[in-house]
Amino acid sequence: MTQIPFDSLVAGRPIEIDVDGKPVCLTRVGDEAFAVSNVCTHSYAELSEGDVKDFVIECWLHGAEFDLRTGAALSLPATEALETFLVERDGNELTISQKSKEI
């Protein structure tokens, strides 16, 4: 798990963080923040370098779009969803952690 102050995030400007050794893209949208894998499922590109519009992030390399809330791939060339991470907010403190695997 990783902790970061909410007010260090700029809306629409994702950053890369490390969560238990995994590269994660953390994005503020309004008063919420969302965490997805920072590696595009199409090929290797860092999503934290992409553009954000509302709840959608666009990969800078070939333009695939993903829903930050669910990780779902919304447009080609990506077809696989991104892994999503749990984001909990307590005041100004965000805690980002891996979701426990369901059995």
Q: Which of 25, 57, 64, 73 binds ligand FES (CB under 6 A)?
A: 64
Rank residues 4 and 61 by Cβ distance to ligand FES and give the closer one. Answer: 61
Q: Which stretch binds ligand FES (CB under 6 A): 6-14, 29-37, 38-46, 81-89?
A: 38-46
Q: Which backbone phi and psi does 10 adopt, to 5 degrees?
A: -105, 130
Q: Which residue, among 5, 35, 4, 6, has the nearest Cα to 22 in the 3D structure?
A: 35
Least distance CB 103 / ligand FES (angstroms): 31
Binding residue for ligand FES, selected from 9, 15, 45, 72, defined by CB under 6 A: 45
Q: Could you give the CA distance from residue 3 to residue 19 in angstroms, rounded to a whole number?
A: 9
